[in-house]
Amino acid sequence: MTYPGPVVGTTWLNEHLNDSGLRIVDATVHLPDTGRDAAAEYRAEHIPGAVFLDFERVADPDNPLRRKLPSREKFAREMGALGIDNRTHVVAYDTPGLYSAARVWWLFRHYGYDNVSILDGGLKAWKLEGLPTDAGEVTVTPATFEPGEGRHLAAFWPDVLEASTTQREQILDARTPGRFAGTEQDRYPGTRAGHIPNSVNLYWAELLDPQTRRFLPPDEIRRRIAAAGITGDRPVTLTCGSGLTACILALGLHLTGNDRWRVYDGSWDEWGRRTDLPVASANP
């Protein structure tokens, strides 16, 4: 199969549903404050052939924070268990349109594998097109997946602290403007209000069409990133609430031809809890 790029549409996926080298994954995450169960929703309705990728499993079991970057070995085991090998084209989607699925793309790229795409508009777009869905579990034959050479696309709090202090790298925060400013209740209980000093803000949903949840054209994405204050002369560290929506900004940068970025995996769920790390806000 010829790689179609990092983003595919509903028409493309529908035409390739029965391709033997394709593995569709439902990578939906619902935060606790939504009261929704992503695994239960998957069992009730999913794109035909899709398996459920549980970020609670595809994670570091020794990290007290949820859904954090798994080791190379753990990632390989979990992808193999989903029937993914080194010839598989992975297409990831989520229920809202795009919220958590971009993290699949980021994880694979971090571990040196590029044959991964995101379904533009996710299950929302799929259903709006009147395309078929299935219910229940999908059984797959386990495979062997060998990650490639790592690209070091993850940043950790010491990296971010250095970027904040020296400003040799830019920091772009994907949370809502209110959470960034510290004027809105954060979705992660126990975190402080505000943002990483010397960071700027671009709410992740600003890269998507508000109706279809599909990506805006690359030129418009580029314009909005620039309007947020990000320039092309320095690398960018991307952050959000817990390492999910920062990956949307990463994919947006990639679509504009900028691959000088890393995702801060701990994001505000970590930084906001650590009293040894500095916080800035609109109301100091």
Annotated catalytic sites, by residue? 240
Neighbours of 142 (CB within 10 A): 12
Q: What is the DSSP string of the chain?
A: -----SEE-HHHHHHTTT-TTEEEEE-----GGGT--HHHHHHH-B-TT-EE--TTTSS-TT-SSTTPPPPHHHHHHHHHHTT--TT-EEEEE-SSSSSSTHHHHHHHHHTT---EEEETTHHHHHHHTT---B-S------------S----EE-HHHHHHHHHH-SSEEEE-S-HHHHHT-S--SSTTPPSSB-TTEEE--GGGGB-TTT-PBPPHHHHHHHHHHTT--TTS-EEEE-SSSSTHHHHHHHHHHTT---EEEESSHHHHHTT-TTS--B-S--
